[in-house]
Amino acid sequence: MKNDTPIAVTSRSFSRHPILRAELEARYSNVQFNDEGLALKGDALINYARGKKKLITALEKIDESFLSALPDLEVISKYGVGTDMLDKAAMIRHGIKLGWTGGVNRRSVTELTLSFMISLLHLVPETNLEIREGTWKNRKGRCLTGRTVGIIGCGHIGKDLTPFLRAFDCPVLAHDILDFPDFYAAHQVEAVDLESLLRRADIVTLHVPLDDSTRNIINAERLAMMKPDALLINCARGGLVDEAALEASLRDGKLSAAGFDVFATEPPENHSLIGLSNFLCTPHIGGSSEEAILAMGRAAIRGLDENMLPTKDYPPAG
């Protein structure tokens, strides 16, 4: 027998996915989907969720004003892994439980990260632009093989990425607020402080959550520590990098190239940055492969029933 608890799905991609819709409706009989494809926020989000006991949310901001307006709400289940849009303290105050599963999109993000590395090293963005404009110029790129890669944040994605890099014979450096000695030993990873990683790595890739401790973790001072021929990859969260400082570094030749899937404001407003030939960007698609969407959606469905109050340790960072 189906559960008749009132449910709302805010996510547009979940709502238009036939398999996820069918699997959710097989469990619940009273489900509201975002069939109009609305970007829900503020009063529109509150009105959409009014009267519901459980929500599946994606990138919508869940804060005190939202929760205060919805006394019937009991559970928020996360479609995706990032939690920086959730005011967990407010959820605790209101007794709202959280359904969350870490790492469900890790392989998709890992593959996009690798594609950024290889594309930038082999000058794919520049040469693609040149040939489209009628210039045929043979350029000398670089191989990923043997390059030193620094991973900032060795959680689910950092751990998934590491064996691929080792297959390319890349020395791997890692910096994380937690220590993973068994994993590091098994994969020949060297744990280092942040400054050492930035100075030594040929490629720096970010895989940390966004919070007060990581906001602008890569600022002008830290960009200056990196090698002039280094690459910076961000497939984690917008806001981790000072984008104005990054643009200056790329323009001045103090950094070779960068690849970003995420921005502090999305869509990005800094058109001079995204117009640079040594800057490769995508529209927050790291976790949007078909396989990742299914994994995230099924985890969100489970989270409607398998959940708990957020704490300082749940969900864990990284």
Active site residues: 237, 266, 284
CA 39 – CA 10 distance, rounded (Å): 9
Name which of 226, 267, 266 is nearest 245 in CA terms: 226
Cβ atoms 82, 207 nearer than 8 A: no
- The three-state secondary structure class of 295 is helix
Cβ atoms 241, 222 nearer than 8 A: no
CA 145 – CA 297 distance, rounded (Å): 35
For residue 218, give Cα distances in angstroms to 12, 227, 244.
32, 14, 11
CA 203 – CA 235 distance, rounded (Å): 13
Chain mean position to CA 269: 19
Burial 239-262 (b: 16+ CB within 10 A, else e): bbbbbebbbebbeeebbbbbbbbb
Chain mean position to CA 272: 23
273 secondary structure, DSSP code: H
Cβ atoms 217, 242 nearer than 8 A: no
Token pair in block for residue 207: 């895989």
Name which of 140, 184, 178, 138 is nearest 159 in CA terms: 184
